[in-house]
Structure 1
Amino acid sequence: MEQITITAKIQIAATETDKVLLDETMSVYRNACNYVSDYVFHTHDLKQFSLNKVLYSTLREKFGLKSQMAQSVLKTVIARYKTILENQNEWIKPSFKKPQYDLVWNRDYSLTQNRFSINTLNGRVKLSYFADGMSKYFDHTIYKFGTAKLVNKHGKYYLHIPVTYDVEESNISDICNVVGIDRGINFVVATYDSKHKSGFVSGKAIKQKRANYSKLRKELQMRRTASSRRRIKAIGGRENRWMRDINHQVSKALVKNNPKHTLFVLEDLSGIRNATERVKTKDRYVSVSWSFYDLEQKLIYKAKQNQSSVIKVDPRYTSQCCPCCGHVEKSNRNKKIHLFTCKNCGYKSNDDRIGAMNLYRMGIDYLADSQVPDTVVTE
């Protein structure tokens, strides 16, 4: 068995009185986090026990936090520092800018199918919430709730709850279908599967919309006003949410349209940013900021939910190698018209489809010897 964690997001139905109380609690919690963060930065102490011994009374008296809230503040700050140290390997003081509140399951918050109960500065309050899609998670023999986060977005309050559950691991021997997935700009994805069927998701409309966002952003940058900067930030958030939603839909369709125990084969594009820095300046926005990674992550966890799996392989030559005769040549591919023409055997097809076909073949090779192929080329 393998554990998987998803984030369930629910909207709280808060009255004006509730909003005042939640805002106050989140603001004080944020201030307490900054206070503890400053102390940790100067002492480099990340032990819950010793921090609790020194700071607990101050958190209770100065900030008016309840006992469990004080403990949550310490855990929040410790976790943030550990993340920074792991990623940056140096002591950088985190700043908690937005009001927030991390809630421990069954201590700071509880959830039933009708009510959301939360610990606040003025005691515990019970609130209604929009429960669409949440009912299945209340079987706590299967689903476990973790430390949630309360956030305020444009006056609306949301609870982000990590939900952990077990799924059966997909073994190589169970694989019944292989899908090669080529990601790109002309097509968001091009696929080729074990039934020798190809599929395409056009990126034309997406590319055009992103170009419109880029144009609007440049116009606002030229104004150099406070309101234009706020607008740029808002546009960025809107564009990211829109693109994440598209990636959600694409990854969902890929998993839904294939059976359980499918092996999805992707190019390892971890170096894609460096590789695309050499493109023309006018094309750099689309190439560099394209959300390959987000789509990859969504596909990985959705595949696990369907007892399927994802492997990443070396991307070299996947669009230059002929899937029929194996001949590799850079001039096989005409990028301008998206056409692949093998100089050896004459096989022709869309260049993105060729990439998907080669990835499919690498998936077949992986099933044969249980090792991820280094490259599509076979000597």
Structure 2
Amino acid sequence: MMQITTIAKIQVQATPEQREMLNATMSTYRSACNFVSNYIFQTHDLKQFSLNKALYYDLRKRYGLKSQMAQSVFKTVIARYKTILENQHEWIKPNFSKPQYDLVWNRDYSLTQNLFSVNTLSGRVKLPYYSDGMEKYFDHDTYSFGTAKFVKKHGKYFLHIPVTRDILEALDCDVCNVVGVDRGINFVVATYDSKHKSDFVSGKAIKQKRAKYKQLRKELQQRQTPSARRRLKAIGQRENRWMQDVNHQVSKALVESNPKHTLFVLEDLSGIRSVTERVRRKDRYVSVSWSFYDLEQKLKYKAALNESSVITVDPRYTSQTCPVCGHTEKSNRDKKRHVFCCKSCGYTSNDDRIGAMNLYRMGISYLAKDSQVPDTVSPQHV
């Protein structure tokens, strides 16, 4: 058994009076977070016990917070600092500016009679919500709720709820299909499966759109005005949301186009940033910032929900090895033309397809010999 957690973003409705209560609570919560953030930046203290001892009563008196909300403030700020330290490896003081606050399930928010009961500084409010497409998350025999974020965005209110589901972990012996998935820039993904079928998702439109975003950022950076900086931030967020949506669509298509108990085999690209010295300077932005990791994470949890699994393997030579005769040579691959031609047997194909075929073969090797999946790639099928 394994647990899968996703974020359900549920829009709620509020009356004008409820809006005032929610806005006041978000504003106060934000101020309290910045107060605690200033203290942590000065002391470098990230222990909730000692922060409680130093700030708890002052925090409640100064901002009128209830006990549970004060604890949520500590947890929110500590988590933000830990993320910064993990990513930046230095003490950088975060500024809390977004209108939002954290809610603990069954303490700060609950769900009764198709209404969310949400805690505010002035008491609880009961909010109806839009359930279209979200119905499955309200089956509490299947999903359990975690600590949510109440968020205001573009004048609308949302509950971002982590929902967790227990599912049976896919076993190697159950695998009935193997899919090699080669991720790239020319093609977002190129696949090769147990039916000896190849599919491609072109990355051309993505490259063009990201190039436009890059050019726009360059122009705004040159202006160096407050409005340009605000615009830069908005553009960055918009590009990230768009790219995440693309990865959602690609990963969903991969899972839905294959049966349950499929093994997806990907290259381990965790060290891609360390090889930028071998990439032309003008191509480094694209190769380093391409969202390979995000696609992998989305594929993993979608596959798990479909009783399938994902493994990552050593990426070395996957685009240089002939899947027919096994000959490995760097000159087998012509990167400029995106063509693979084996110097030994002459087998020729698209280089991304070759990568997917070799990943497929590695998936076969990973499985037990009595697997239901064919254990060879027949030359007549390649």
TM-score after normalising by structure 1:
0.91
The answer to whether 1:319 aligns with 2:327 is no
CA contact (8 A) 1:4 1:166 kept: yes
Q: Provide the aligned length of Structure 1 versus Structure 2.
A: 370
- Residue number in structure 2 paired with 1:332: 332
Distance 1:354 1:302, change over 3 A: same
The structural deviation recorded for 1:140 is 1.7
The structural deviation recorded for 1:127 is 1.7
The answer to whether 1:155 aligns with 2:155 is yes
- Residue number in structure 2 paired with 1:117: 117
The structural deviation recorded for 1:138 is 2.1
CA contact (8 A) 1:277 1:288 kept: no
The answer to whether 1:169 aligns with 2:169 is yes
- Residue number in structure 1 paired with 2:183: 183
CA contact (8 A) 1:112 1:138 kept: no
- Residue number in structure 1 paired with 2:100: 100
CA contact (8 A) 2:172 2:368 kept: no
CA contact (8 A) 1:113 1:135 kept: no
Q: Distance in 2 between matches of 1:205 and 1:99?
A: 34
The answer to whether 1:146 aligns with 2:146 is yes
SS, match of residue 367 in structure 2: helix
- Residue number in structure 2 paired with 1:198: 198
- Residue number in structure 1 paired with 2:377: none
Q: Which moved more, 1:287-296 or 1:360-369?
A: 360-369
Q: Which moved more, 1:271-280 or 1:180-189?
A: 271-280
The structural deviation recorded for 1:283 is 2.3
Q: Distance in 1 between matches of 2:44 and 2:273?
A: 34
Letter in 1 for 2:328: V
- Residue number in structure 1 paired with 2:358: 358
Identity within the alignment, %: 77
The answer to whether 1:243 aligns with 2:218 is no
Q: Which moved more, 1:356-365 or 1:35-44?
A: 35-44
- Residue number in structure 2 paired with 1:261: 261
- Residue number in structure 1 paired with 2:379: none
CA contact (8 A) 2:150 2:158 kept: yes
SS, match of residue 63 in structure 2: coil
Q: Deviations over 1:47-88 (max 9, x none)?
A: 545543443322222101122212222232343445556666
Distance 1:208 1:39, change over 3 A: closer
Distance 1:91 1:220, change over 3 A: closer
The answer to whether 1:2 aligns with 2:2 is yes
- 5 Å matches for 1:7-18? 7-18=7-18
Letter in 2 for 1:279: V
The structural deviation recorded for 1:93 is 4.7
Distance 1:208 1:84, change over 3 A: closer
SS, match of residue 105 in structure 2: coil
The structural deviation recorded for 1:251 is 0.2
- Residue number in structure 1 paired with 2:345: 345
Unaligned runs of 5+ in 2: 371-382
TM-score after normalising by structure 2:
0.90
- 5 Å matches for 1:288-299? 288-299=288-299
- Residue number in structure 2 paired with 1:220: 220
The structural deviation recorded for 1:170 is 0.8
SS, match of residue 315 in structure 1: coil
CA contact (8 A) 1:2 1:166 kept: yes
SS, match of residue 129 in structure 1: coil
- Residue number in structure 1 paired with 2:234: 234
Superposition CA RMSD, Å: 2.2
Letter in 2 for 1:7: I
Q: Deviations over 1:156-179 (max 9, x none)?
A: 222110011100011111111110
Q: Deviations over 1:129-185 (max 9, x none)?
A: 212222222222221100001122222222110011100011111111110000111
Q: Deviations over 1:179-206 (max 9, x none)?
A: 0000111110000001111010111111
- Residue number in structure 1 paired with 2:367: 367
Q: Deviations over 1:342-361 (max 9, x none)?
A: 00000000000000000000
The structural deviation recorded for 1:237 is 1.4
Letter in 2 for 1:205: A
The structural deviation recorded for 1:115 is 1.4
Letter in 2 for 1:4: I
CA contact (8 A) 2:173 2:368 kept: no
Letter in 1 for 2:306: N
SS, match of residue 337 in structure 1: coil
